[in-house]
């Protein structure tokens, strides 16, 4: 049950200056800050992204370096009981309404089923989804469903074996495809597929991916590549934009805006119909083909949706990040381990979210401005 109202009380702002100078401690939010995970711009975070690990068994070029990263020690990473408590504080005290487990690769965590089961027991109605690369999912999909996972997102950037291997630096395409099918069979649908397109590598795969996803009734979502790769190789000129993606798909399909409300979702959804003779190829003409399904495009770089952002992030080592591009992060796990009460932990989380930046500054103007600095953490170390 949510007990969001009046809980906990904002701290006196007198300590703000001191806190601001302590690394990992956010300044206190003002006493007029509303309940829940509110920020200065009137947004309220209700969607929690929780990273279970920084480790991964793939090395996607847009995310990790070939040799991997220096992994966190086991002690540094939240254990199952700590995760369970942090989720409980988010849901029971702070108005979190949905949870996404991510990483690194969440499937590499040996106690994953215990974690999902414990969260489900505490929160029978909470939508719990997981983003995974799908390697090993075939063996765990049914158990994850039984433990209480609601739904799954699997990342897949190409159906072409050589391209997949080049992009992920691992020859695991078939294992991913088997994993996706197993998730569907286990009832973890709707299965969403996340794809990042890279110029000259897999941009020619866009239509194939959509044709395949439609044939399987999976919901494909293209994600614009963000400057969050550990190699710092991202360039604007190489990025495949949302506009490029719409153009690539319109060679074969007609896309029209999905009439359903977007409702804070990062993906803009389009209905997909087959291109029929007489249409022009720009995707704006009225489509006469049969409705085949939908496709989503997450245009984080070129069409940012910061004004409507509802996300709060907890990294694998229990740091609060209000945005993927935060250069500030605040320690929740250290406070928890020091014996803090639920109220104190909730207060720290609220303070950290109160100063969430208005926007990530990654849009065209921001990126070209001299003050845009790529965050130190790569996507795998944040939890995408």
By CB under 6 A, residue 130 contacts ligand SF4: no
- The answer to whether the CB of 297 falls within 8 A of the CB of 257 is no
The least CB distance from residue 169 to ligand SF4, in Å, is: 9
Q: Which of 59, 140, 275, 310 forms a contact with ligand SF4 (CB under 6 A)?
A: 59
By CB under 6 A, residue 60 contacts ligand SF4: yes
Nearer to ligand SAM, 102 or 205 (CB): 102
Q: Output the residue with the shortest Cβ distance to ligand SAM.
A: 384
Residue window 131-170: x/- pattern of binding to ligand SF4, with contact defined by CB under 6 A: --x---------------------x---------------
> Which helix (DSSP H) or strand (DSSP E) does residue 65 occupy?
none
By CB under 6 A, residue 229 contacts ligand SF4: no
Q: Is 193 helix (H, G, I), strand (E, B) or coil?
A: strand
Q: How far is CA 237 from the centre of its chain?
A: 24
| In 183-267, beta strands by DSSP E | 192-196, 219-223, 253-257
By CB under 6 A, residue 380 contacts ligand SF4: yes
Shortest CA distance to 119 belongs to which of 101, 137, 140? 101
The least CB distance from residue 11 to ligand SF4, in Å, is: 36
Distance between CA atoms of 40 and 43, rounded to whole angstroms? 7
Shortest CA distance to 116 belongs to which of 214, 34, 33, 186? 186
Distance between CA atoms of 137 and 193, rounded to whole angstroms? 14
Residue 326 interface partner, choices ligand SF4, ligand SAM, none, CB cut-off 5-8 Å depending on type:
none
Shortest CA distance to 83 belongs to which of 332, 338, 326? 332
Nearer to ligand SF4, 103 or 266 (CB): 103
Residue 64 interface partner, choices ligand SAM, ligand SF4, none, CB cut-off 5-8 Å depending on type:
ligand SF4
Residue 323 interface partner, choices ligand SAM, ligand SF4, none, CB cut-off 5-8 Å depending on type:
none
By CB under 6 A, residue 126 contacts ligand SF4: no
- The answer to whether the CB of 8 falls within 8 A of the CB of 346 is yes
The least CB distance from residue 147 to ligand SAM, in Å, is: 18
3-state helix, strand, coil in the chain (%, to 5): 30, 15, 50
Q: Which of 48, 56, 297, 345 forms a contact with ligand SF4 (CB under 6 A)?
A: 56
Nearer to ligand SAM, 225 or 250 (CB): 225
The least CB distance from residue 342 to ligand SF4, in Å, is: 31
- Positive or negative torsion for Cα 221, 224, 226, 232: positive
Nearer to ligand SF4, 250 or 378 (CB): 378
Tokens representing 380? 């795998």
Distance between CA atoms of 82 and 318, rounded to whole angstroms? 9
Distance between CA atoms of 249 and 269, rounded to whole angstroms? 13
CB atoms within 10 A of CB 262: 14
Nearer to ligand SF4, 107 or 272 (CB): 107
By CB under 6 A, residue 63 contacts ligand SF4: yes
Chain residues in the site for ligand SAM (CB under 6 A): 56, 62-63, 102-103, 105, 131-133, 155, 194, 196, 223, 225-226, 228-229, 379-380, 384
Residue 38 interface partner, choices ligand SF4, ligand SAM, none, CB cut-off 5-8 Å depending on type:
none
Tell me which stretch binds ligand SF4 (CB under 6 A): 53-61, 69-77, 254-262, 315-323: 53-61
By CB under 6 A, residue 198 contacts ligand SF4: no
The least CB distance from residue 352 to ligand SF4, in Å, is: 24
Alpha-helical regions (H) of the chain: 16-20, 80-94, 112-122, 137-147, 161-168, 173-185, 206-216, 242-249, 333-337, 342-354, 364-368, 379-382
Residue window 99-118: x/- pattern of binding to ligand SF4, with contact defined by CB under 6 A: ----xxx-------------
- The answer to whether the CB of 207 falls within 8 A of the CB of 101 is no
Site of interaction with ligand SF4 (CB under 6 A)? 56, 58-60, 63-64, 103-105, 133, 155, 379-380
């Amino acid at each position: 049950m949510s007990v969001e109202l009046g809980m906990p009380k904002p701290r006196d702002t007198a300590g703000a200056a001191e806190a601001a100078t302590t690394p990992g401690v956010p300044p206190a939010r003002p006493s007029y800050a509303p309940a829940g995970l509110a920020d200065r711009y009137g947004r309220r975070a209700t969607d929690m992204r929780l990273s279970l690990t920084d480790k991964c068994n793939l090395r996607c070029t847009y995310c990790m370096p070939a040799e991997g990263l220096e992994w966190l020690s086991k002690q540094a990473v939240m254990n199952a009981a700590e995760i369970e408590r942090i989720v409980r504080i988010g849901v029971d005290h702070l108005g979190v309404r949905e949870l996404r487990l991510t990483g690194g690769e969440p499937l590499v965590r040996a106690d994953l089923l215990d974690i999902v089961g414990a969260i489900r027991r505490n929160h029978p109605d909470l939508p719990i989804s997981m983003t995974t690369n799908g390697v090993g999912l075939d063996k765990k999909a049914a158990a994850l469903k039984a433990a209480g996972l609601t739904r799954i997102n699997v990342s897949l950037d190409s159906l072409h074996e050589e391209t997949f291997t080049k992009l992920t630096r691992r020859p695991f395409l078939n294992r991913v495809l088997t994993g996706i099918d197993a998730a569907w069979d286990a009832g973890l649908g709707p299965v969403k597929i996340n794809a990042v397109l890279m110029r000259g590598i897999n941009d020619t795969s866009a239509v194939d991916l959509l044709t395949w996803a439609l044939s399987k009734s999976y919901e494909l979502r293209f994600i614009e590549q963000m400057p969050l790769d550990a190699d710092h190789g991202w360039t604007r000129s190489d990025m495949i934009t949302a506009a490029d993606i719409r153009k690539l798909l319109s060679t074969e399909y007609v896309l029209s805006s999905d009439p359903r409300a977007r409702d804070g979702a990062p993906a803009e959804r389009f209905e997909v119909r087959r291109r029929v003779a007489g249409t022009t190829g720009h995707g704006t003409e009225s489509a006469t083909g049969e409705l085949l399904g939908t496709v989503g495009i997450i245009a984080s770089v070129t069409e940012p949706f910061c004004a409507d952002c509802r996300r709060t992030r907890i990294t694998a080592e229990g740091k609060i990040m209000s945005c993927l591009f935060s250069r500030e992060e605040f320690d929740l796990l250290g406070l928890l381990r020091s014996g803090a009460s639920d109220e104190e932990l909730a207060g720290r989380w609220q303070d950290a979210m109160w100063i969430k930046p208005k926007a990530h500054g990654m849009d065209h103007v921001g990126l070209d401005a001299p003050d845009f600095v790529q965050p130190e953490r790569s996507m795998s170390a944040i939890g995408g």
